[in-house]
Amino acid sequence: MKNNCIFCAIAAGEIPSFKVYEDELVVAYLDINPFSEGHTLVIPKVHSEGLLDTPDATLAEIIVRVKKVAAHLKAALPCDGFNILQNNGEAAGQTVRHVHFHIVPRTGGDALAFANRPGDREHLKALAARVRLA
């Protein structure tokens, strides 16, 4: 297996996947541990590990494919909306080190949730000043 990377092996057709879309740049296939019905991964065929080492031009092209596949899933499934997830690094829950975008179809009232709570305004103000791009 090239790079010892399971997603490169899927892109090369060396191991099977439940493919839903493919073109010269990307492959999209069902996640085998789905968050929801139709949970799909979109990957570039060329290996990179995450968002930061993927060329800008590639990312620009991938997001258009993500949109295309998401639109198709929304039309093909009982689907009221969808989340796009993209994990980077172990701390963020990335388990496969080949950049990938999750498309997670959602239906009204499903049990999936991202827990959040109100942030402290002063902290948010200081944080924004610290991390703001020039």
Q: How far is the CB of 98 from Zn ion (least distance, A)?
A: 3
Q: Which residue lies nearer to ligand AMP by CB, 11 or 79?
A: 11
Q: How far is the CB of 99 from Zn ion (least distance, A)?
A: 8
Within 10 Å of residue 110's Cβ, how many Cβ atoms?
14
Q: Which does 17 bind (CB under 5 to 8 A by kind): ligand AMP, Zn ion, none?
A: ligand AMP
Answer yes or no: 100 catalytic.
Answer: yes
| Cα 99 from Cα 94, distance rounded (Å) | 9
Q: Are 21 and 27 in contact (CB under 8 A)?
A: yes
Q: Give the DSSP H/E element, type plus range, for residue 70.
A: helix 56-76
Catalytic residues: 100
Q: Which chain residues interact with Zn ion by CB under 5 A? A: 5, 7-8, 47, 98
